[in-house]
Amino acid sequence: MQLFVYGTLMAPDLVRSLTGRSFETEPARLCGFRRIHRAGSYAYILPSQGDSVDGALLRGLGADDLRALDRYEGEGDLYLRVEVVAETARGECPCTTYVANSTALDRLKIT
């Protein structure tokens, strides 16, 4: 499994502390989304036609790795893990990423 990351998960030491593993990483871009990072808040992305987000692709994650990262990201509450296609120097790559949960953003008055 591949995961597109754009915020705190771009730090290899953090990912290693959460999963106990290191992953092959390469620069990537996610089109059709915009990144938002307000003071006092975590970075998040939302769908946005014509925009793109630069980040990194983590390759070779297993189910246990994703569960650990889901816990860290508050998947299902703060973020939703969704399927997307990222662009890399190797071409398009199907992957997943964490997109802001608009219900949580409204509840926390982050938007």
Q: Which residues are catalytic?
A: 73
Cβ atoms of residues 61 and 74 within 8 Å: no
Cβ burial of 98 (10 Å; 0-12, 13-18, 19+) is: buried
Cβ atoms of residues 61 and 3 within 8 Å: yes
